[in-house]
Structure 1
């Protein structure tokens, strides 16, 4: 058996690459034909019902506006209800037939059951479930001394998608509906200072890839992956418990431009209505996947070079630090390293609300 595997290790990779090279033109043509067909028969969202979690800012907010332009009925879910009020008014002006706002925490199963049940009670159906709530960080793994922060990233990025999906799935089966997943290129592209976030997103993508086979064609699943976009996280914002917004003074070490969040939201909604299995923005990020599979050393050397070029700066833990005022009165953050900060006496009730809520 070892001899067979050794032979296959030498033969299969180059043979597969040659086959793909010859098949690429035909596959591209078939993909183009499929895209044209699905675009022509794209789903009409007028009077359809859409639940959007994490709708209080960023990607979730912009997705709500895109569905509003298609005259859908919206259910906007987020912890920050006061933010949803203004967004719901904007959505109505853009064409939404009806907008329901619900304050809920997607990491709590009972909250997920509540907003799904309220949706069914009001509209009698559910057509699209859009999960956009995410939690990000920009610190090195070794800087953290309090491991109680770890579950927060899995709770928001993984269970915050699984619970709404589990509760909504029976109703999506009835309507042959769709699930939209806000993933990230970090699920397979290893970016520094994103270790816990990347791990949670990898788990998320693998969950929905498996679920896609389980539900077959009865429920469509669109997985959206993005690079750096203009969301709250990439602008350094985080949320305090009382809802005050602040911003980091320091920038990220490695920043690869992705594009505006409005354009990504438009692509997501268009892709979901077409029934696309994936929405990638920008699509050139796929090139890195080839390097990871066939030339992982090149990818590793590239990141080492980027880190060496940008130095070894550290930023404070998500949502912590000393606020300072700069420019036109905008609060900026200039704080110590996470190791120093977490080592200081602070209760869990003081610490946990200060993790960044990234509503991409």
Structure 2
């Protein structure tokens, strides 16, 4: 067994480089074709006449959204108060939706939590338990589910950057240096998500310029770690300076 492991360690690295180089050009041509196709694709009307089941832990938040959806042409909208972190609530809103409409065609799972702070600010680690591995776990789960289901159900995984929401504004407020990053509006993100899901995309990253950072993380992890450490250090200096000015 040890000999096989050594053989694989020696042989697979150069073999993988050969395979990557041989697939790279056709794959890039395919990606460019898809990109150009999407650029010239007719922009469909956002008023698609979908019937909607709106779910939120705070029911009062949904009233305005439901009225807006109806004004845009949705023939039927129901609102359901539920906590998606509770399994029984998830089962309940799915059952209510199916019972009301007869079926469920598209599920948008966009619940999220966050607490912008560094490790040094933790006073009780249990406070962060709900967030531990949440994004990575969700992505890995849906990637595995997509492999198992094949083409039976289309799954689009969305990885947004800083969005102009309460959570996004909190991050900017806590880390002042983040103000240099332009915030994408929630409506722009929602429109991109609808278009991407209708196209059957596997992934969507918005704003799209964020994707240019991915190859650096893959190919130069040490450089990225060093850059992030410098970024965090600069952010702390700015925050400390802002705090001192307020005290004065």
In structure 2, distance between residues paired with 1:259 and 1:116: 30
Aligned residue for 2:243? none
* C-alpha distance in 2 between matches for 1:128 and 1:307: 39
Match runs of 1:18-167 below 5 Å: 18-32=21-35, 69-153=47-131
Change (3 A) 1:311 1:12: farther
Q: Per-residue deviation at 1:106?
A: 0.6
**Per-residue CA shift, 1:141-177, capped at 9, x if unaligned?**
2322223213322xxxxxxxxxxxxxxxxxxxxxxxx
Q: SS of the residue aligned with 2:169?
A: coil
Given the superposition, is the C-alpha separation of residues 293 and 16 from structure 1 closer, same or farther in structure 2, using an over 3 Å criterion? farther
User: TM-score, normalised on structure 1?
Assistant: 0.58
Matched positions, count: 235
Is contact 2:160-2:207 (8 Å) kept? yes
The higher radius of gyration belongs to: 2
Distance 2:187 2:101 in 1: 28
Distance 1:276 1:225 in 2: 13
User: Can you give the 5+ residue segments of structure 2 that lack an aligned partner in the other structure?
Assistant: 241-245
Does structure 1 residue 224 correspond to structure 2 residue 184? no
- For the residue of structure 2 that corresponds to 1:101, the secondary structure is strand
1:307 to 232, 238, 247: 232
Q: Which runs of 5+ in 1 are unaligned?
A: 45-65, 154-195, 238-247, 316-333, 335-360
3-state SS, counterpart of residue 257 of structure 1: coil
Following superposition, the deviation at residue 89 of structure 1 comes to 1.0
| Contact 2:57/2:83, CA 8 A, preserved across alignment | yes
Which structure has more relative contact order (CA 8 Å, sep 6+)? It is 1
* Residues 1:281 and 2:206 aligned together: yes
Cα distance in 1 for partners of 2:58, 2:89 equals 14
Change (3 A) 1:285 1:232: same
Per residue, is there more helix in 1 or in 2?
Answer: 2
More strand by share: 1
Deviation at 1:74, TM superposition (A): 0.8
Asked if the contact 2:175–2:239 (Cα under 8 Å) also holds between the matched residues in 1, the reply is: no
The CA distance in 2 between the partners of 1:302 and 1:76, in whole Å, is 41
CA distance, structure 2, for counterparts of residue 225 and residue 234 of structure 1: 14
Closer, same or farther in 2 for the Cα pair 1:29/1:303, shift >3 Å? Answer: closer
CA contact (8 A) 1:226 1:258 kept: no
Q: Could you tell me how far apart the structure 1 residues matched to 2:234 and 2:20 are?
A: 34
Q: Show CA shifts across 1:69-98 (max 9, x none).
A: 211111110011111111111111111111
**1:86-133 Cα deviation digits (max 9, x unpaired):** 111111111111110010011111111111111111111111110111
What is the rounded CA distance, in whole Å, between the counterparts of 1:299 and 1:310 in structure 2? 16
Are the counterparts in 2 of residues 254 and 307 from structure 1 also a CA contact under 8 Å? no
2:184 is matched with: 259
TM-score normalized with structure 2 length: 0.82
d(CA) in 1 for partners of 2:56, 2:137: 22
User: CA–CA distance in 1 between the matches of 2:23 and 2:34?
Assistant: 14
Residue 6 of structure 1 is matched in structure 2 by 10
Cα distance in 1 between the residues matched to 2:39 and 2:153: 21
